[in-house]
Amino acid sequence: MLVGTNGSGKSTLLRLIANLLRPRSGRIHAAGKVALVFQNPDHQLLLPSCASDLQLGMQPGLGSDERRSRVAKSLAQVGLSGFEERPVHTLSGGQKQRLAIAGALAGDADLVLLDEPTALLDPDSQNGVLQLLWQLTQRSVSPLTALWITHRLEELQHCNGAALMEHGSVGSWQNGHQLAQRLAPLQGGRADG
């Protein structure tokens, strides 16, 4: 996880890793397939039903049985079993964010980048998304590799490693709890002071 103030470069770094922006100099190499989950899921959920939206990110050429199987499995992994035909516009904010994460899973992403995935959610949905990310990254078979950015220090309790980003530079990686303890007295509990 990367924490930092607004304007510190967190979102720009994610967009560089996702190859949505080109670096002015140097190179960024991410092995495998990268998926980006936006802060506002409405900006990436484009099709009318949950199943149709998840299929959008799948490789072309997959058979219909494989597509259905991936949709069902991805929805189950994020706690949305049975939502295949549910219209996306009827979902809550937390459910939409879960669906966006399911899209990364259905598309076989090796690295999932999340741009402040809890920023627009109510406290219960924030906690649900953080617990989901923890479960997906800690599972014994095919654990998800996720990097998310935030300015909410309380999210540091839900990650294995974290770094503070300031002025476009990433600090040293450390335990999330340790970074939260280091920053709390300096910033009044928030990375954006």
Task: Give the tens place of pLDDT for each residue, 77-123.
Answer: 999 999 999 999 999 999 999 999 999 999 999 999 999 999 999 99
Q: How far apart are CA 33 and CA 15, in angstroms?
A: 14
With a threshold of 0.85, does the pTM exceed it? yes
- Between the alpha carbon of residue 164 and those of residues 4, 114, 167, 180, 188, the distances in Å are 6, 16, 10, 10, 15
Confidence of residue 172 (pLDDT cuts 50, 70, 90): very high
pLDDT tens-digit profile of 128-164? 999 999 999 999 999 999 999 998 899 999 998 999 9
Helix (H) or strand (E) segment spanning residue 136: helix 123-138
Give the DSSP letter of residue 58. S
DSSP E strands: which ranges in 14-145? 34-37, 111-115
